[in-house]
């Protein structure tokens, strides 16, 4: 009887196994799982879940499965699968996982690896100014180039995790840098030794990172799971994981995390609940009270601190979720918008509430905002992802000072303390090959560059002295073009694989007003 039961169970298992081996799930397990993980959460290859594939869908996804990816381990499957099977496999990858995956502190710790043979250098292994280096993220083949900011000589080019997004974050002394991928990998790189130190997977689908004022902690904002992971910058070990949910317990994705240097804290934008979080990075932070608690001991209703000291968490309630921020230079206020909204709200971080509202239609990209002094008053500018304009806002009274019409919606803005101009790309539409150079005082377009007709020109960063402005030609066989920031003439062109963002060590560690933080 027992034998018979075992036999029947085995038959069921075989049948289930055979069933699992048919159709798209079967093709996935046979052909993809080895690199992308049997659970689709990624291993040597990237995660293949809707959250990670939102930028690679439909025909583009079918093309990658059919033809593979040049210069990667991804092979072409057009000879092993029919067009119909490939279409079904692509469709399967865009289906959500049956259960929301978890990624615990233990998983983060297990993923951590330190580069064998790495030892820190006692001085830079090059002669260049270590604070005038640039990191250029080349998304075409998932590498970063390290450039000397005076000569533009390439000092190193290293492989990153797949699909790096957002600005790398530097330690306050500019010695180490942390780079994050959309699949949640954080890579630590030593800018003196020009060597990777190690990497860790802090989340499954992550948004960006921020470093604490003292350089000891790195916060990773995650969509999946709904957490904020705090790592020790020293050895990438997990220090704390916050499960993110509002007061009522509704879980939320974390849209972004930023350092507020004057407040010695991290500020979090939450995607799904109307709260902003502030997490202190001050070991002596004052207690945070989150409401009244009835004490059985005293029989009284008392305010009990919910947290204090390092990583004390404060909630700021807002009228609706805000997922894109710009901070004033003192980090007293932030302006936020939700991606579907047409207004901005100003939240005062000291009193912890909304203090003003301003009309901002056309999806402002506040994260790219920059500020400067115009006619004695500090203004900030933001591009809009859906309208061909820049909005100029007075950061004292929060009025909309002016609107600069552009040749198309833009993504990024840049300037420098020493420059008279704002550089604004025209990222979307037929004029994506243009770069406007706008006078900071008159707000008139002084010149429009078209570095490579037909190719997207995007994202600018200045060197530490403001002498040069670097522009990306955002194509697989693209380039980085160095302009003289005063004469606006081209100085040098360096071939690169889809260079996206570029980041100057000095401008970032000094929170230059002309660059995003
Ligand atoms: Fe980004 C920064 C969010 C799409 C390239 N992007 C950021 C930051 C956020 C953000 C919150 C600030 C992080 C930081 O630096 O700490 N980005 C979003 C989105 O919500 C959006 C619109 C949709 C999404 O897919 O997530 C988006 N971003 C893109 C792109 O499509 C871009 C152009 C190409 C890519 O690499 O995916 C892109 N984002 C960038 C870059 C930065 C960035 C290059 C760093 C800007 C900087 O100069 O600091």
- CA 115–ligand 1 middle distance (angstroms): 28
The pLDDT value recorded for residue 213 is 98
Same domain, yes or no, for 185 and 312? yes
Same domain, 173 and 62: no
Give 172-223 pLDDT, tens digit per residue: 999 999 999 999 999 999 999 999 999 999 999 999 999 999 999 999 999 9
CA of residue 88 to ligand 1 center, whole Å? 30
Tell the residue nearest (CA) to atom 42 of ligand 1.
Answer: 166
Residue 294 lies in a domain: yes
Distance CA 52, CA 93 (A): 10
Distance CA 381, CA 392 (A): 5
Q: Which among 263, 293, 317 is the end of a domain?
A: 317
Please state, in angstroms and rounded to a whole number, the distance separating the CA atoms of residues 445 and 45: 44
CATH of the domain at 28: 1.10.760.10
Q: Which residues line ligand 1 (CB under 6 A)?
A: 55, 139, 165-167, 207-208, 256, 367, 411-412, 459, 500-501, 516
CATH number of the domain to which 148 belongs: 2.140.10.20
Instruction: State the pLDDT at residue 21.
Output: 60
Q: How confident is the model at residue 54 (pLDDT cuts 50, 70, 90)?
A: confident
Nearest CA to ligand 1 atom 30: 165
Print the domain residue range for 22: 2-93
Give yes or no: residues 73 and 130 share one domain.
Answer: no
Q: Answer with the residue of higher pLDDT: 17 or 479.
A: 479
What average pLDDT does range 110-139 have in this prediction?
97
Q: Give the model's pLDDT for residue 425.
A: 97
The closest residue, in CA terms, to atom 43 on ligand 1 is 166
Distance CA 65, CA 63 (A): 5
Atom in ligand 1 nearest the alpha carbon of residue 169: 16
Residue 334 resides in a domain: no
How confident is the model over 151-170, as a mean pLDDT?
97
The strand pairing partners of 437, in sequence order, are 423, 447
* 507 domain residue, yes or no: no
Domain-terminating residue out of 46, 63, 93: 93
Atom of ligand 1 nearest to the CA of 163: 36
Distance CA 292, CA 298 (A): 14
Burial category of 93 from C-beta neighbours within 10 Å (exposed 0-12, middle 13-18, buried 19 and up): buried
pLDDT for 15 equals 40
Which residue has its alpha carbon closest to ligand 1 atom 13? 166
Say what the alpha-carbon torsion angle 86, 89, 95, 100 is, to the nearest 10 degrees: -150
For residue 493, report the distance from its CA to the centre of ligand 1, in Å. Answer: 24
Q: Is residue 261 part of a domain?
A: yes
Instruction: Provide the pLDDT for residue 424.
Output: 98
| Average pLDDT in the chain | 92
For residues 325 and 271, give the distance between their C-alpha atoms in angstroms, rounded to a whole number.
Answer: 12
Tokens encoding 316: 């700021």
Shared domain for 114 and 56, answered yes or no, is: no
Q: Would residue 442 count as lying in a domain?
A: no
How confident is the model over 70-86, as a mean pLDDT?
88
* Cis, bond preceding 344 (omega within 30 deg of 0): no
> Does residue 392 lie in a domain region?
no
Q: Which of 52, 54, 61, 55 is nearest to 24 (CA)?
A: 61
Q: Could you tell me if residue 372 is inside a domain?
A: no
What pLDDT does residue 301 have?
A: 78
pLDDT grade, residue 517 (50/70/90)? Answer: confident
pLDDT tens per residue across span 282-324: 999 998 987 777 777 778 777 777 889 999 999 999 999 998 8
Last residue within a domain, chosen from 36, 65, 93: 93
65 plus 128 within the same structural domain: no
CA 165 to ligand 1 center in whole angstroms: 6
Q: pLDDT at residue 36 above 60?
A: yes
Distances (CA, A) of 358 to 304, 322, 343, 397, 449: 36, 14, 6, 10, 32
* Whether residues 47 and 164 fall in one domain: no
Q: How far is the CA of 411 from the centre of ligand 1 (A)?
A: 9
Atom of ligand 1 nearest to the CA of 427: 33
Q: Is the pLDDT of residue 4 over 80?
A: no
SS3 readout for 277-332: EEEECCCCCCCEEEEEEECCCCCCEEEEEEECCCCCEEEEECCCCCCEEEECCCCC
Provide the b/e sequence for 328-338 (b: ≥16 CB within 10 Å): beebebbbbbb
The verdict on 256 and 313 lying in the same domain is yes
User: 22 and 141, same structural domain?
Assistant: no
What's the number of domains the chain is made of? 2
88 and 174 part of one domain:
no
Q: Contact at 8 Å (CB) between 38 and 30?
A: no
Query: Tokens 């939700």, residue?
Result: 338
Q: Quick one: pLDDT at residue 9?
A: 39
pLDDT digits (tens, 9 = 90+) for 428-474: 999 999 999 999 999 999 999 999 999 999 999 999 999 999 999 99
On the question of pLDDT at 58 being above 90, the answer is: no
Residue 85 shares a structural domain with residue 128: no
Element counts in the chain: helices (H) and strands (E): 8, 35
Of ligand 1's atoms, which has the minimum distance to the CA of residue 139?
Answer: 36
Q: In degrees to the nearest 10, what's the CA dihedral of 508, 509, 510, 513?
A: 20
- Between the CA of 368 and the centroid of ligand 1 the distance, in Å, is 9
459 CA to middle of ligand 1, Å? 11
Pair 284, 136 in one domain: yes
Contacts of 248 (CB under 8 A, 6+ apart): none
pLDDT of residue 104: 97
Encode pLDDT of 222-257 as tens digits: 999 999 999 999 999 999 999 999 999 999 999 999
For residues 121 and 72, membership in a common domain is answered with no
Please tell me which residue, 358 or 338, carries the higher pLDDT value: 358
Span from the CA of 363 to the centroid of ligand 1 (angstroms): 14
pTM equals: 0.91
pLDDT, position 324: 87
428 domain residue, yes or no: no
Question: What is the per-residue pLDDT for 20?
Answer: 52
């Amino acid at each position: 009887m027992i034998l018979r039961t075992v036999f029947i169970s085995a038959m069921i298992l075989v049948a289930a196994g055979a069933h699992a081996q048919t159709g798209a799930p079967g093709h996935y397990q046979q052909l993809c799982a080895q690199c992308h993980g049997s659970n689709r959460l990624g291993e040597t290859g990237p995660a293949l879940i809707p959250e990670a594939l939102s930028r690679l869908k439909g025909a583009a996804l079918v093309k990658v499965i059919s033809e593979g990816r040049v210069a990667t381990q991804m092979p072409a499957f057009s000879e092993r699968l029919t067009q119909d099977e490939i279409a079904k496999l692509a469709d399967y990858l865009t289906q959500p996982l049956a259960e929301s995956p978890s990624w615990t502190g233990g998983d983060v710790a297990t993923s951590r690896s330190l580069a064998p043979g790495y030892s820190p250098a006692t001085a830079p292994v090059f002669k260049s100014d270590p604070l005038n280096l640039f990191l250029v993220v080349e998304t075409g083949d998932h590498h970063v180039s390290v450039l000397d900011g005076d000569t533009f000589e390439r000092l190193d080019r290293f492989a990153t995790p797949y699909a790096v997004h957002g600005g790398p974050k530097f330690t306050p002394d500019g010695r180490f840098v942390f780079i994050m991928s959309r699949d949640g990998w954080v890579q630590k790189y030593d800018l003196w030794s020009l060597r990777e130190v190690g990497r860790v997977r802090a989340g499954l689908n992550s948004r960006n990172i921020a470093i604490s004022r003292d350089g000891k902690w790195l916060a990773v904002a995650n969509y999946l799971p709904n957490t904020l992971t705090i790592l020790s910058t020293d050895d990438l070990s997990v220090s704390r994981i916050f499960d993110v949910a509002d007061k009522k317990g509704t879980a939320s994705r974390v849209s972004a995390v930023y350092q507020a240097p004057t407040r010695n804290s991290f500020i979090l934008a939450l995607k799904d609940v109307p709260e902003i979080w502030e997490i202190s990075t001050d070991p002596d932070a004052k207690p945070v009270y989150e409401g009244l608690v009835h004490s059985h001991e005293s029989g009284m209703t008392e305010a009990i601190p919910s947290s204090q000291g390092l990583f004390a968490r404060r909630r700021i309630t807002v009228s609706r979720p805000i997922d894109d921020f710009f901070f004033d230079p003192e980090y007293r206020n932030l302006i936020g918008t939700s991606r579907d909204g047409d207004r901005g709200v100003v939240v005062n971080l000291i009193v912890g509430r909304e203090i003003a509202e301003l009309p901002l239609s056309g999806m402002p990209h506040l994260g790219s905002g920059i500020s400067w002094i115009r006619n004695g008053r500090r203004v900030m500018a933001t591009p809009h992802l859906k309208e061909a304009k820049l909005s100029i806002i007075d950061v004292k009274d929060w009025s909309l000072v002016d609107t600069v019409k552009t040749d198309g919606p833009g993504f990024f803005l840049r300037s420098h303390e020493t420059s008279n101009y704002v550089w604004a790309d025209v990222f979307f539409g037929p004029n994506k090959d243009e770069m406007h150079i706008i006078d900071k005082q008159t707000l008139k377009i002084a010149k429009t560059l078209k570095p490579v007709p037909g190719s997207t020109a995007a994202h600018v960063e200045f060197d530490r002295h403001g002498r040069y402005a670097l522009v990306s030609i955002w194509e697989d066989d693209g380039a980085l073009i160095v302009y003289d920031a005063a004469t606006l003439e081209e100085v040098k062109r360096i071939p690169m694989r889809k260079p996206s963002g570029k980041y100057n060590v000095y401008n970032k560690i000094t929170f230059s007003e002309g660059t995003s933080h």
